[in-house]
Structures are given as C-alpha cells and as structure tokens.
Chain A
Amino acid sequence: MSGGYLSEDERWDLVDRISERIVSYGEYKQSLRDVIGELTVVPLMGIPVAVAVLYAFWSIFGSFAGALMTDGFMVKLFDNYWLPWLQSVWPDPDGWLYFLFVGDPAADNCFEAFGMLTSGLFVSLGVVLWAVLIFYLMMTLLEDSGYLPRLAVLVDTLLHKIGLHGYAIVPAILGLGCNVPAVTATRILETKKQRFMMMTLLAIFIPCGAQLGVMLEVIPDSVGWVMLYLIAGFAIFGIILDRIIPGKNPEILIDVPAYHMPSLENVGKKLWMRTRGFLKEAVPFVMLGVLLVNLLYLGGVIQALSNFFEPLFVYWFGVPKETAGPLVAAFLRKDLAIAQLSAIPMTAYQMITSVVLISIYFPCVATFVVMLKEGWKQLLASVAVLFCVVLIYGGLIHAIGILLGVA
C-alpha cells in the first residue's frame, strides 16, 4: 500500500478475501417461478400473457373507477345532493358568477352543468381521482411484481421499428395515468432523438387516465375504436418520425428481476406519493381550467374561434362546428372537453372522430408546462409535428368514415 491507496494486486487480493467470506457455491436448481419468468419474455408465450394482463388491467380499471366509484357512488352524491344544494343556495341564477361557478341553471347533473364547483369538482374528485387511484395501483403492482421489465423486453423488437426501445413502454403506460410524469419519464431513453419522439408521440397519442375515465362515462361503447385509432396513429407517425428525425436508436440492456410478491408497504407508499401528486397538481388545474373556459365563453372568444374554424371542422374533419368550443377548451383540460362533447348532438362516428381529435390535439396545459421544462426547442418542434398530425390524421379518419359509409 502506498500513500493510503491499494495496488492492483492488493485490490484483487481484497476482492478474493471478501468473496470467499460472502459467496457460497452450490448447485442451482431452476424453480417454476424462474421458468415462468423466462416464458413471459418469449414472444410466443409472452404476447398472449401480455394480452391477458392488459385485459385484466383495463377490466379492473373500468369496474372499480366506472361501475363502483363513479356510477355507483359519485354520480348519486354529486347529482342528488351537491348540485341541488348549490343551485338552491347560490343567488341570482342569471348572473355571471352563477355561470362561472355553478354553470347551467337548468342542468340536472354535474357532468353537463359546466360550473367550476359542479363539473370541475365532479370531474376531478368524482371521476378522475378514482381512475388515477386504481390506475396507479395496478401500475405499481405490475412494476413491483417484476412484470413491467418483462413487458419492456417483449415490446423491444416492436418499438425498435419506430426508433424506440423496450423501456419506452414505461412512459407510454405512465402516460395512460397522467402525461405529466410520463414526459419526465422519457429521460430514461438514451438519445435526444428517442426522447423527442417519445415526448411527441406521448403528447399526441396517449390519452391520460382523466380522459379515459371520462371516455368510459361518455362513450363506453366506442372507447375501443378510439384506442384503436390512437394506437394505429402512434405506430404510423412513429415510423414516419423515425425516418425523418436524425439520430441514433441504440440497443439497451435491461435487468429483469425474478417475479416476486409486491411488498404492501412499498405499494402503499408509491400509491400515496402518486395520488398525492395528482391531488396537488391536477385538481387545481381542472378547477381553474373550468373557470377559464367559462370566462372564454362569457367573453365570446370560444364562439369566435368556433366560427373561424367552422370550415375546417365541418368539411375536413367531418364533425359539427360546435365541437370547436370543446377543442379550444381541450388545451386546458381534455377530460372536460370530452365531457362537453356529450352535450353536442352528433352521430356515433362523429363522436369517435371528435374524441380522437381531442386526444391528438394540443397537450393539456400541465403537460405543456412540463414539456417546456424539457426544452423550448423540443416543445416547438413537438407542436409543429402535432399540428401536421392533427390535420393529416383528422382528415384521414374522416376519409375512412366516408369509405365505410358512416361519416
């Protein structure tokens, strides 16, 4: 040893001494759990299992958030108690303050009232909170059981076709809960090209839990079609972006842990941390979003924009001109915009088109802010891509509807 440092030989001797004391040698026998772990990354077995896991994920999501919490308790609580009480105690139903906070005086449910204290509160606490809670619980269980890294390995080949790698599945699935942490999670991708691509595709094609929750309420029978259009768009525009954006798509090594039972304490901590984040950040955005949209309506801004964009909406996208209002509002809250669509008379296909348009249209303001934090150049480029995608894909969906005879 010289000057307090070990020579190379001394370091190896130390390694040998430590390993002799702590490493034990024996015959390794593969367990059933190990074999199941291996099988779930082999495409032939892994893909059917992934199809089953995703089914279970969405089934539990729909049953808990939709049937139990929102339809079972929250609708009754808000429509039978909260709304009538607010309508009875708030003075001057014709005043602008009533319009801002309670909304439509004739409304008999919080979904269609569009006041800050009616729709704003109902959407955030009656619909989205439960959707986000169960989503994050399922997500945490998948993470902690060791399934998520296997899913990453499984989709690696597929995602490489659009210039991403397997771990891009993490921000993609996170985005289905909330796009805000998902944008941050794109940092796990290696190159600038991959991060930009994922951030852009995420902002355009991945609907958040809030949106999904409201979609289940407004168009339960068409959610599958909307998702199909979004997945197809993700793949098509992913391939295009991969071709036109310069940069590398390197391979990665993923550490796949053995399957294990998630620890209750860890699941509880993660769930609390994520749900608390939603309550602190998203709920104020929903409330303020409703307030701002109502102010824009009061000021005639949304009406003016509807008139201005009418030709685009009616002739290019094939949707009623009234959808322009919700589309403008979608910048503030996409979930509320979908709720607003439910009040506009239109065909089932027009509803699907409108919901897809809202999904692929500008990211919500919270996501916008986080994207800005990642760099204003990337944000501007993402927005440019977004406008092209909305115009091309919106027109394409209309064209498909015409060809099928449903538009």
Chain B
Amino acid sequence: MDMKNSSSNKNINGLGIYVIILGVVAFAFGCADILVWAGFSPGLEIGIMEIAGDDFFRWAWGGLVVLMGGLIMLSGAVNAGDIRQFAKVALGALMVLMIAATDIFARLCENIPAGEEAPEFFNSLGGFIGGFAPPYSPAIILLPFVLVIVYLAMRYDEEN
C-alpha cells in the first residue's frame, strides 16, 4: 500500500499487528475445531463460544479452512501495506468470513421452519430470534474482527 503520509504509515503498522493477532487467533481456533473433532475433547464451551466437534464436514473441513485462513493472514502480516501482502490478508479474512457466513446461514435455515414436531410450518418470531442466541462457533466470534479487514479491502481500490 503506497501510503501518502506518515499517519497512514502508522496505520500500516497498526494493521500489521492487528492482522498478526487475528491470524494467530484464527489459526488457534481452526486447530481447536479439528482437535475437538478428532476426539481430543468431548466438546468445548468457553463463554459464548462452543466447539461441538460432532461433524466431520463442519469441524474438520470447516476448521481446516479457518486454520488456513489464519495462516494466509499471517503470511501477509509483514509489510501488510504492500498491495500483494494486503491481498493475502484479505484472502485469509475472506476464508474465515465464508465459514462464519455459512454458520449464520445454517442457523437461519434451521430457525425459519417450526420444527418436526410442531404442527405449524413457520417458527414463531421469538423462536426464530432465540435461534441466534449464544453459544457461537469460533468463526462467528471472529466475524466482527474479520469484517474490519473486508471493509479496508473494499476501500483499498477507492483510496489508491
């Protein structure tokens, strides 16, 4: 990123640190997803975060994507202002975003219908909103932090 002034350069440093922290956390969360799925723990719940680890597709495959997303972000963290490096950061962030977005989409799809036992077709408003209550997957926890990168990426071409 060919920044135009020194204050922007400070932002680059800040961005690099932010990306390193986000990348390390994403990598750790991805590892945790896979390890819980592999049976190292019967399931993990810390605060509002939960790793059920009960499904290969979600926790092994999805965990691998979060892990790789973290690694790709880390690979772009040094000199994150450079366009190629920032593109790596954006790609890593997009990978974590994909997992978080599909987790939210899955909740949305599960909570629109009323459920097998209920006689009606559609869920009540309370039931629908309740379906989005915690605990959340690690990818959803990372979502707000990843969105910051996505926002910067969207503004990148405009600013440069």
Q: Which residues of A contact B (CB under 8 A)?
A: 29-33, 35-36, 39-40, 45, 48-49, 51-53, 55-56, 58-60, 62-64, 67-68, 71-73, 75-77, 224
Contact = CB atoms under 8 A, between A and B. Distances in A.
Given A36-B87, A224-B57, A55 B99 contact: yes
B65 interface: yes
A72 B102 contact: no
A63 B110 CA distance: 8
Contacts of B146: none
Given A30-B83, A53-B98, 7 more contacts: A32-B157, A32-B160, A36-B91, A45-B72, A63-B109, A64-B109, A76-B116
Nearest to A79: B116
Contact of A67 (B58, B69, B99, B106): B106
A224 B56 contact: yes
B113 A68 contact: yes
Interface of B: 56-58, 61-62, 64-65, 68-69, 71-72, 83-84, 86-88, 90-91, 94-95, 98-99, 101-102, 105-106, 108-110, 112-113, 116, 121, 153, 156-157, 160
A52 B98 contact: yes
Contacts of B106: 59, 62-63, 67
Nearest to B123: A72
A52 B68 contact: yes
A76 B84 CA distance: 51
B90 A32 contact: yes
B39 to A, nearest CB: 16
Given A55-B102, A68-B113, A48 B72 contact: yes
Nearest to B84: A35
Given A35-B83, A76-B116, A224-B56, A49 B95 contact: yes
A76 B115 CA distance: 9
Given A58-B57, A67-B110, A72-B112, A32 B153 contact: yes
| Dominant SS among interface residues on chain A | helix
Contact of B90 (A36, A72, A76, A77): A36
Contacts of B61: 51, 55
Contact of A51 (B65, B90, B101, B109): B65
6 contacts: A35-B84, A64-B105, A68-B112, A72-B110, A73-B121, A224-B56
Contacts of A73: 113, 121
Contacts of A68: 109-110, 112-113
B82 to A, nearest CB: 10
Contacts of A31: 157, 160
Nearest to B56: A224
Contacts of A71: 113, 116
Nearest to A58: B57
B61 to A, nearest CB: 5
Nearest to B98: A56
A45 B86 contact: no
A51 B68 contact: yes
A67 B109 contact: yes
Nearest to B104: A63
Given A33-B157, A39-B88, A63 B72 contact: no
Contacts of A53: 98
Contacts of A39: 84, 87-88, 91
A56 B102 contact: yes
Contacts of A60: 102, 105
Contacts of B116: 71, 75-76
Given A32-B90, A52-B98, A75-B116, A59 B69 contact: no
A77 B64 CA distance: 38
A93 to B, nearest CB: 26
Contacts of B105: 59-60, 63-64
